[in-house]
Chain A
Amino acid sequence: MIATKTIPDFSLSPHIDQVGIEERASRFTKRSIKNETKLHGLMLALNMIDLTTLEGKDTEGKVKQLCYKAQHLHDAYPGLPTVAAICVYPSMVKTAKAALGNSGIKVASVATAFPSGQAPRDIKIRDTKYAVQNGADEVDMVISRGKFLEGEYNFVFDEIAAIKEACGEARLKVILETGELVTYDKVRKASDIAMYAGADFIKTSTGKISPAATMPVTLVMLEAIRDFYYKTGKKIAMKPAGGISKSKLALHYLVMLNETLGEGWMNNEWFRFGASSLANDILMQLMKQKTGVYQSANYFSID
């Protein structure tokens, strides 16, 4: 439900100073995360992962394997959390849903002609409905970047609103594909449009375009969420995706989240990492904390 009645003039979205935002983002990387804070952070990061497979060659077998992994990240380490969700294409939603059962792990499905978004609106709506009808708890849509860059903000807004309607109960993640928007000003504007149009999450990237998530881009979006929250009282969740494959970087993101939006966002309802290889790096770090020595990658299952 959209909490606001008035929709602002998006041409008045705040401007972002490139030097300033990059300096601020790098400041978070100076925090030294140690001992219990590190352990807590690693566990939390693990619990925030949307474990992802989005490949043309995905099969049901592969998705089932991934779903098993999601529930049993590394059974040699008792007491680990599960990941937050499995992220797949619509055709795999049914398989994932069945494989995950009542584990509490959500099924997220990309939709709306992911990753390009180059399809007519009715097809995008059908794509979304198909995913939801097959049991998707969350839908990851892409915005029409071409229309956005043309300045057709109303088109983008209406499209997001239409997909939100098609989602029904499922939570909607709106992928801005920041690598194609290029400037921070545009990222901010797209974030504002998505939130006012009904996004539950805003998400940086599809993972198919480079650069994917970066800390400054994520910070721009977190600050947009903060401003939106103060204006409307409605919390919006954040999902950086792509390019976050190391524990240390994940901890930097959590520091940034904690210092920008505070404790209220420090859980997997309000923050996710879209990643495929981050989980194993965190597991490696956790085993190092536990045993004092690093184990080789061969000790951690790839799917």
Chain B
Amino acid sequence: MATKKNNTIKLKFDSARNLAPAPESKSAAKIDQQYDLFINGKFEKPQSKKYFATINPATEEKLSMIAEANTADVNKAVVAARTAYDKTWKKMPPAERAKYIYRIARMIQERAREFAIIETLDGGKPIRESRDFDVPTAANHFFYYAGWADKLEYAFPNRRTEPLGVAGQIIPWNFPLLMAAWKIAPALACGNTVVLKPAENTSLTALKLAEIIQEADLPPGVVNIITGAGATGAAIVNHADINKIAFTGSTEVGKIIQRAIAGTNKKATLELGGKAANIIFDDAPLDQAVEGVINGIFFNQGHVCCAGSRLYVQESVFATVVRKLKDRLETMILGDPMDKNTDIGAINSKAQLDIINKYIKIGQQEGAEMYQSSCTIPKKGFYCRPTIFTNVAQSNRIAQEEIFGPVLAIQSFRTDDEVIEKANNTPYGLSAGVWTDKGSKIFNLTSKLRAGVIWANTFNKFDPTSPFGGYKESGYGREGGLHGLNAYVNII
């Protein structure tokens, strides 16, 4: 065996990507032709009389028609929520509230397979992720907050709490069911009632959740789920009888919401964009760090607000890390999200794919060096190859702006102080990652990085008991854990 020059050595992974199809069965989930608004415990036709189509981004085929709620529909939902709040939910003994929340959690678990399939069909994420992450974590959030409902006096020792009233909740398209769970569970546990609007292109699992809520016999009006696009969201935000707005989405819309509620006594929690820095030091366990970087940016096609979209690698291991990343990229299976082996599914929408492609072009124009996996892309549907950029400057737009797709910008650094400064040099501050074998370095960095969540030697780990939220333009307020209760109570 001849010894070749190192730069000519290349491992081949084609056969690792070409496995026989292992598709999950579509028939295990039932999707109706048309979905109405869930108001006051019933599915009702929208007063707007309008419906819009929701499609499968992996095939561009229509899945169902979804009702569009107008101002009158929003008002009806808010009135239902107010009535339920005053007449039942507020007065109900907390332990009773807990039983309902617990029941919802159990029913999500029982129908987990159906939820996972619909989440994947509607949103394009790999079935492995919806099955192993989205649905179980959503159920866990309900379980967790069910436990808090009758223990609020321990959450806020020596204080009394009261619910806020009606919460208007607007959630994004990247984790449709999970975000619904993050919003609904703590609101109910604290005694609030809810008007929730899912994103217009991923409404199905929220509507399935409405079916569960109906079956769970939750008192009518406690949770109302209404569908529609931006105008529906605006009607919720501007409704005079809503006490609290909880929003997860883009920083741009977050700013609009903040302007809209200025001068009212509505409370708000905003969970907005991010441009997280993942930092690899030369003493880090490199193969595991590479794996963390891959999960950090390619999980859910990079549609994650806390995605590790900027990578900083210490100069002495830069070449090794980039080589390892490229090899790992080659083994990722892109394709039908319903296939159990798919690692990277479909981009959520045509509009999002256009944005991602725009940034990929910008990156190339800025002089960054692009590397994409050599995988093939299905002819139909919205897909984007996993992409990494090297030779990136801090001033490049791909290193500054949130892309919300499978695109990673890699830079090198020399010293700890330099990387802290660079990592903090962003308007966002949602999350960050530190990879090193040295505990003291972890503590030094985690105390200086300005981000709401900082992972050490791991990334994208979520647990209902752990708070999540941002610094700076990544929003304010915390969801999850004990902190998540704070956002839904008045402390007296």
Binding site for B on A (CB under 8 A): 3, 14-17, 19-21, 23-24, 30-38, 223, 226, 229-235, 255, 258-259, 261-264, 266
Contacts and interface: CB of A to CB of B under 8 A. Distances in A.
A271 B285 CA distance: 25
A266 B15 contact: yes
A32 B20 CA distance: 9
Contact of B285 (A16, A32, A33): A16
Contact of B22 (A14, A17, A34): A34
Contacts of B5: 233
Contacts of A14: 285-287
Q: Lowest 6 A-B CB distances belong to which pairs?
A: A20-B288, A32-B22, A262-B11, A17-B285, A37-B20, A32-B340
Contacts of B288: 16-17, 19-21, 24
Contacts of A30: 128, 132, 340
15 contacts: A14-B285, A20-B287, A20-B288, A24-B288, A30-B132, A32-B341, A35-B21, A37-B20, A226-B11, A226-B327, A230-B323, A233-B2, A235-B1, A258-B16, A264-B11
Nearest to B292: A20
B292 A262 contact: no
Contacts of B6: 230-231, 233
A24 B292 CA distance: 10
A258 B13 contact: yes
A20 B280 CA distance: 14
Interface SS majority for chain A: helix
A233 B128 CA distance: 36
B11 A233 contact: no
Nearest to B437: A15
Given A14-B287, A20-B457, A233-B3, A36 B20 contact: yes
Nearest to B340: A32
Interface residues of B, number: 36
B378 to A, nearest CB: 19
B128 to A, nearest CB: 6
A16 B291 CA distance: 12
A106 B329 CA distance: 36
Interface SS majority for chain B: loop
B458 A259 contact: no
**Among the interface residues B287, B289, B458, which one has the most CB atoms of the partner chain A within 10 A?**
B287
Contacts of A232: 3
Contacts of B340: 30-32
Given A15-B285, A263-B14, A266-B15, A20 B291 contact: yes
B211 interface: no
Contacts of B15: 258, 262-263, 266
Contacts of B284: 15
A33 B19 contact: yes
Contacts of B421: none
Nearest to B288: A20
Contacts of B327: 226
Contact of A263 (B4, B12, B20, B437): B12
A35 B285 contact: no
A152 B286 CA distance: 26
A302 B3 CA distance: 43
Given A34-B22, A234-B3, A259-B331, A17 B457 contact: yes
B13 to A, nearest CB: 5
B283 interface: yes
A262 B12 contact: yes
Given A234-B3, A235-B1, A262-B12, A24 B20 contact: no
Nearest to B286: A14
Given A24-B287, A31-B341, A233-B1, 13 more contacts: A16-B288, A17-B285, A32-B19, A33-B19, A35-B20, A36-B20, A226-B11, A226-B327, A233-B6, A234-B3, A259-B16, A263-B16, A264-B11
Contact of A19 (B16, B20, B458): B458
